[in-house]
Structure 1
Amino acid sequence: MELFCSIILAVFTLYLEQGSCFPSGAPWDTCLTMFPKHNGQQRQTAPSHFRFHLQTASSFRPGDSINVSVTSEKAGHALTGIQLRARPTSGDRERIVGQFVAWPEEKTQALDCLGGIRNLITHSNNEPVTTLTFTWRAPDVNVGDVQFIATFVEDFDHFWVDQTLTLPSLEPPPTDKLGVDLSPNFDVIDWSECGVSKGCFLYPRACTGHDCYAAVSFRWTNGSLEFEMFASQEGYVAVGFSEDKHMGHDETVVCTAQGDSLAIQRGYNHETYNERQFKAGLSDVQARYVDGRLYCRFTRPIVMEMYVEKGHKKLREFNLEHAHYLMLAWGHIYDGTEVMGLHKELPPVSDGLVDFHLSAIIRGSSLPLAKQIHGTLMLVSWLLLAGSATVIARHYKTGFRGRLICKAQAWFQIHRFLAILLWLTTAASFILIFVVVGGWLPKWTSAAGNAHACLGVAVMAGSTLQVLAGVLRPAPGTRLRPIFNWGHFILGKATHITAGVCLFFAFYNSVIPAPQRKFAYIVLSVALVVHIAWDVGLDIAKCIHAKKSRDQYEMKTVDGTSSDVGNEPTIGQGPPEVTLYLYLSCILAVTCASITAIYMF
């Protein structure tokens, strides 16, 4: 089934769109990362075609103005985009120091970053140039040696990051020690204390600590909060503090690992992306990547502030004295950097607001409640209701001892009720997901997500046609009745198979966390095998019973014991009702197991 999904998936890759570049300048919220996220393109590792030059001085004092030039050193290569700022070489190297007082206005512009004024240069258009000169003024206080750091963009696919030029200071280095030091010496996390001396958010629901896929713990220590967390992959692990269950307007703390390179950073979640901000204030930071897991520990003051809104003129307070929802996220980072990529897997969110004063074990889910309901309705519809309606119509027309319900045969009334209920639950699920998503899928949806959506539309259309055909069915004995019977059978089978593939695609999706995908594959595969086994078994039993009835009839005819029409073989007679109850029990069991793939993660 996974191979089959992969083949179909290739068809839907046409839905994917290219990422966008920013010809009018880098976004204002990339002041620290300075990394062009051009549809996932990696940075160039070959030497850059562009170079820094100091024009007026080779060193500086506080308050001095320095001219810095950027030139192309290779014919045929021009600069179309740029980001440039200055940082100290010691202490807190995240700080942006000084400000730009002159720049080529026909090509570039100066932005205000993270409380500063005109402290970042970026392009204002994508016209190619070969030389740019800027005037930077040093801060009035001694910050020690300064390093200019730049990003050079030649085109969408070719850019260089972390290009540096050091400017020595004529003043002695400052003695105050700033910055956040990270220690690679990591003390093992004691998960046995969860619910005793510290609170723990554990994912998935059934895990207890070391066996989790990801987890975060917290405890009060000397008026601050100590956090410990891990995720089962290289790249990054992040914890978020939110006032609601949705991404946006949240604080995050992120630990990254790539090889032996470890780092920690703070960020602010906008609606669809994370903005890196200053991490000053965090302390006792430890990190380690070992055995496929990234571990992190840090201490956070109860109250911290972050810049919000464009231009970074407004500070917002994040106070963990108040309860927040906890979020866990993990993903990849760009090669050779600390820059986070978009997390593909949905982040688990705590079920309720978390009181950080309490030592409680917290559970959560990666799927919002509305999507859980959507999935539940579809699983019930196409694993339980569709299978039951089909089996009763195919094998139990002569069952139920000839009982009538509302003057119609019992099998028909049950089949019709299940079919209508199937359509209602499918329609409810279909409408619900359109309301949640707000229409069709956003452009960044994966190919698997698009495939699932398109198959879902086909299922909705097929089930609607089935109901309409049932309402407008020709009367028995008419010329069109055999055509209806075959059409009803083929359309029903096709819709049922499409729904099964659609269910697999719901989990064959990079946004679904890996443990949830794996569990869902198992239970859906078991459900598929059970359905096929019952279909085949019931057909075989039906054939055996028909042959046995025919043989008995022929023996009676040869012996002359009976030749009445009423004693002709009941070739269409189905299996006993107890078989139906056993079938329903099995299908109900696999349906419930499949639903756990939604709610256990």
Structure 2
Amino acid sequence: MLQARKVAKGADGKAEVVGRFLQMHHRAKFLSCPNGSALENTVIHEEAPLRLANLTFVWMAPQMDLGDIQFVASILLDGGMKYKIFQSQPLSLNIYPVSTKDCAVVKSCFRYCTGYSGSDCQAHTARYTAAMEFTAAKTGVKFTLGGLLADEEGYLAIGFSRDGHQMTNADISVCYRSAEGEVGVEHYLLDNIDYMPDLHLAELQLESSDVDGDYVWCTFSRPIKGKDSAVLDLSEPTYYFYFLGQKERHGHLLT
């Protein structure tokens, strides 16, 4: 039997089973144990005379931080007369993929999927995801951009302009993956759609990032109002634009 459990036990002394298994070995089956909030939170193998090894499972974490968790496997021995328990090291929450639980409540979210949309378009499978929320002091906005960047020099970007047609003086923030596999952010200013964007004087600072195979995530913040009109005032009515593509060798963006 395989489960993911909270390290901290509940008031009743029982361990809470967390998350949900999505894929398993063809000789296994799902169970929904009552001490967990999600369905299919447990995996067991068939009752068959099998010698199994090197099994692979896909598990999806809960959308909220429940504290440290660990995987626990119980293996029956001697024909089921006794069993042995194996436990992983405690695992802390990775904030990526970004949770969409509070979208339209305390943050704004955008998701783009190919082939399906609506509630089926989840952050961990989306081609592009953007989440925006106020910083603690509410003087800035924290952005999290993420998505599929399988190619070198790929990028995801979000732009703002008061011109919805020509994107005049568009303020563009970019999350990119370099040829060396590093993740970074850059800030651009676009004269209009007839020209390539230029590097903005106000630089962005990468706060955190993550790479999981072909998926890349980055988080950065920018002020709502810039000094001396250096940064577009996001408190004013503004058009939002979302981009993905590849950089040229000279750093220009290709959508």
Q: What is the one-letter code of the residue matched to 1:257?
A: R
Q: Which secondary structure state, in structure 2, belongs to the residue aligned with residue 318 of structure 1?
A: coil
Deviation of 1:239 (Å):
0.7
C-alpha distance in 2, partners of 1:278/1:288?
26
Q: What is the one-letter code of the residue matched to 1:266?
A: H
Q: Which secondary structure state, in structure 2, belongs to the residue aligned with residue 332 of structure 1?
A: strand
Identify the residue that residue 331 of structure 1 maps to in structure 2: 245
What is the aligned counterpart of 2:144 among 213, 228, 251?
228
Matches within 5 A, 1:335-414: 339-343=251-255
Deviation of 1:284 (Å):
5.6
Q: What is the one-letter code of the residue matched to 1:260?
A: G
Q: Say if 1:284 and 1:254 are closer, same or farther in 2 by CA, change over 3 A.
A: closer
C-alpha distance in 2, partners of 1:245/1:212?
25
Deviation of 1:324 (Å):
1.7
Q: Does the CA-based 8 Å contact 1:240-1:252 persist in structure 2?
A: yes
Deviation track 1:200-233 (CA, whole Å, cap 9, x = no partner) reads 0222453243332112111112222111111312
C-alpha distance in 2, partners of 1:342/1:284?
22
Q: Say if 1:330 and 1:301 are closer, same or farther in 2 by CA, change over 3 A.
A: same
1:249 aligns with 2:156: no
Deviation track 1:529-563 (CA, whole Å, cap 9, x = no partner) reads xxxxxxxxxxxxxxxxxxxxxxxxxxxxxxxxxxx
Q: What is the one-letter code of the residue matched to 1:320?
A: L
1:278 aligns with 2:207: no
The alignment of Structure 1 onto Structure 2 pairs a total of residues equal to 147
C-alpha distance in 2, partners of 1:305/1:342?
29
TM-score if structure 1 supplies the norm length? 0.23
Q: Does the CA-based 8 Å contact 1:265-1:278 persist in structure 2?
A: no
Deviation of 1:191 (Å):
1.8
Q: Say if 1:214 and 1:265 are closer, same or farther in 2 by CA, change over 3 A.
A: same
Q: What is the one-letter code of the residue matched to 1:263?
A: G
C-alpha distance in 1, partners of 2:227/2:209?
24
C-alpha distance in 2, partners of 1:238/1:201?
12
C-alpha distance in 1, partners of 2:232/2:242?
17
Q: Does the CA-based 8 Å contact 2:144-2:217 persist in structure 1?
A: yes
C-alpha distance in 2, partners of 1:230/1:284?
13
1:289 aligns with 2:211: yes
Q: Does the CA-based 8 Å contact 2:184-2:218 persist in structure 1?
A: no
Q: Does the CA-based 8 Å contact 1:287-1:294 persist in structure 2?
A: yes
Deviation of 1:316 (Å):
5.0
Q: Say if 1:248 and 1:290 are closer, same or farther in 2 by CA, change over 3 A.
A: farther
C-alpha distance in 2, partners of 1:226/1:328?
16
Q: What is the one-letter code of the residue matched to 2:162?
A: E
Identify the residue that residue 183 of structure 2 maps to in structure 1: 262
Deviation track 1:556-593 (CA, whole Å, cap 9, x = no partner) reads xxxxxxxxxxxxxxxxxxxxxxxxxxxxxxxxxxxxxx
Q: Say if 1:192 and 1:340 are closer, same or farther in 2 by CA, change over 3 A.
A: farther
Deviation of 1:261 (Å):
2.3
C-alpha distance in 2, partners of 1:209/1:342?
24
Deviation of 1:331 (Å):
1.3
Deviation of 1:262 (Å):
2.4
Q: Say if 1:215 and 1:305 are closer, same or farther in 2 by CA, change over 3 A.
A: farther
What is the aligned counterpart of 1:237 among 138, 145, 156?
156
Q: Does the CA-based 8 Å contact 2:144-2:218 persist in structure 1?
A: yes
Q: Which secondary structure state, in structure 2, belongs to the residue aligned with residue 319 of structure 1?
A: coil
Q: Which secondary structure state, in structure 1, belongs to the residue aligned with residue 101 of structure 2?
A: helix
What is the aligned counterpart of 1:218 among 120, 132, 135?
132
Q: Does the CA-based 8 Å contact 2:245-2:253 persist in structure 1?
A: yes
Q: Say if 1:289 and 1:340 are closer, same or farther in 2 by CA, change over 3 A.
A: farther
Q: Say if 1:193 and 1:203 are closer, same or farther in 2 by CA, change over 3 A.
A: same
C-alpha distance in 2, partners of 1:342/1:266?
15
Structure 2 residue ranges without an equivalent (≥5) = 1-93
Q: Does the CA-based 8 Å contact 2:171-2:189 persist in structure 1?
A: yes
Matches within 5 A, 1:36-115: none
Identify the residue that residue 13 of structure 2 maps to in structure 1: none
Matches within 5 A, 1:448-459: none
1:199 aligns with 2:118: no
Deviation of 1:283 (Å):
4.4
C-alpha distance in 2, partners of 1:245/1:208?
28
Equivalent pairs: percent with the same residue? Answer: 21
Structure 1 residue ranges without an equivalent (≥5) = 1-185, 307-314, 344-601
Deviation track 1:496-550 (CA, whole Å, cap 9, x = no partner) reads xxxxxxxxxxxxxxxxxxxxxxxxxxxxxxxxxxxxxxxxxxxxxxxxxxxxxxx
C-alpha distance in 2, partners of 1:293/1:284?
17
Q: Say if 1:316 and 1:278 are closer, same or farther in 2 by CA, change over 3 A.
A: closer
Q: Which secondary structure state, in structure 1, belongs to the residue aligned with residue 184 of structure 2?
A: strand
C-alpha distance in 1, partners of 2:217/2:122?
16
Q: What is the one-letter code of the residue matched to 2:131?
A: S
Identify the residue that residue 187 of structure 1 maps to in structure 2: 95
Deviation of 1:326 (Å):
1.4
C-alpha distance in 1, partners of 2:202/2:213?
27
Identify the residue that residue 55 of structure 2 maps to in structure 1: none
> Where is the strand percentage greater, Structure 1 or Structure 2?
2
Q: Say if 1:332 and 1:284 are closer, same or farther in 2 by CA, change over 3 A.
A: closer
Matches within 5 A, 1:461-540: none
RMSD: 2.4
C-alpha distance in 2, partners of 1:284/1:262?
9
C-alpha distance in 1, partners of 2:202/2:230?
15
1:299 aligns with 2:221: yes
